[in-house]
């Protein structure tokens, strides 16, 4: 939980350095302004409060009332002034922390349902919140990049995304080597990978998550190093 508090503090610092009109500028997500991203971050915290309350009470409380209500809330909140957005991000995160503090140890074993339909244990909620904060901080296009991620976060997401994409059909076989973390992952089907992608774990996680086009990575085909690594990287579907 502490990591989500620290991540929020860094995000709030970024927001404090924006100019008022910057909140209405495009973000890194197609069709969304920075205001959309910030409204989503805040409403995500409240949606996780719903799940935390369900874990504590044993009630089946959905993450969002409906997909349409989720989208409407983000749209409605996107045009607010920067200072209102900043306060909403701060206050919604505090509601998330306060709700988590009410859970007893046994509550963290409860099975919850994500808005997309899959189930997971409640103890994964802090990690899910941290991912929302870190990825969408990058999406603001306000100077925060994958290079700013903490090593524990980058490693955890490298492992998660490597396993996710490694289980998908239709991807070319690629070996990933996070040289600074001593980690490897493999994407695609059977057979010897044609491509090997090497680089820092933050750069690899940035590419796997769609937050980077491959800057900082080296790509080899067999023993041949490729000059333009970014053009050689396979196109990945949206991360899970």
pLDDT digits 0-9 by tens, 154-207: 999 999 999 998 878 788 889 999 999 999 999 987 778 888 999 999 999 999
| 20: containing domain | 2-144
CATH number at residue 51: 1.20.120.450
What is the 3 state secondary structure string of the chain?
CHHHHHHHHHHHHHHHCCCHHHHHCECCCCCCEHHHHHHHHHHHHHHHHHHHHHHHHCCCCCCCCCHHHHHHHHHHHCCCCHHHHHHHHHHHHHHHHHHHHCCCHHHHHCEEECCCCCEEEHHHHHHHHHHHHHHHHHHCCCCCCHHHCCHHHHHHHHHHHHHHHHCCCCCCCEEEEECCCCEEEEECCCCCCCEEEEECHHHHHHHHCCCCCCCCCEEEECCEECCCHHHHCCCCCCCC
- Model pTM score: 0.93
Give yes or no: residues 197 and 94 share one domain: no
pLDDT of residue 226: 62
Residue 237 within a domain: no
pLDDT at 240: 63
Residue 225 has pLDDT above 80, yes or no: no
Domain stop point among 85, 110, 144: 144
Average per-residue pLDDT in the chain? Answer: 94
- Count of domains in the chain? 2
**Which of 144, 171, 205 is the last residue before a domain boundary?**
144
The predicted-structure confidence for 113-146, as pLDDT tens digits, reads as follows: 999 899 999 999 999 999 999 999 999 999 999 9
Q: Examine residue 239 and state whether it is found in any structural domain, yes or no.
A: no
Q: Is the pLDDT of residue 223 over 80?
A: no
């Amino acid at each position: 939980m502490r990591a989500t508090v620290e991540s929020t503090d860094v995000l709030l610092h970024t927001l404090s350095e924006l100019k008022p009109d910057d909140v209405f500028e495009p973000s890194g997500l197609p069709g969304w302004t920075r205001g959309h991203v910030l409204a989503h971050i805040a409403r995500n915290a409240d949606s996780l409060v719903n799940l935390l309350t369900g874990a504590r009470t044993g009630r089946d409380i959905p993450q969002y009332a409906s997909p349409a209500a989720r989208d409407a809330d983000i749209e409605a909140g996107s045009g607010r002034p920067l200072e209102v957005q900043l306060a909403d991000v701060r206050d919604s995160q505090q509601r998330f922390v306060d709700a988590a503090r009410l859970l007893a140890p046994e509550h963290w074993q409860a099975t919850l349902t994500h808005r997309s339909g899959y189930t997971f244990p409640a103890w994964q909620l802090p990690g899910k919140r941290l991912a929302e904060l870190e990825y969408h901080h990058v999406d603001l296009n306000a100077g925060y990049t994958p290079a700013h991620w903490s090593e524990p976060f980058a490693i955890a997401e490298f492992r998660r995304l490597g396993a996710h994409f490694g289980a998908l059909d239709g991807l070319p076989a690629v070996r990933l080597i996070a040289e600074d973390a001593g980690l490897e992952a493999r994407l695609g089907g059977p057979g010897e990978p044609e491509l090997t992608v090497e680089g820092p774990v933050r750069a690899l996680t940035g590419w796997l998550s769609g937050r980077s086009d491959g800057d900082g990575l080296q790509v080899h085909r067999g023993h041949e190093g490729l000059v333009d690594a970014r053009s050689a990287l396979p196109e990945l579907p949206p991360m899970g």
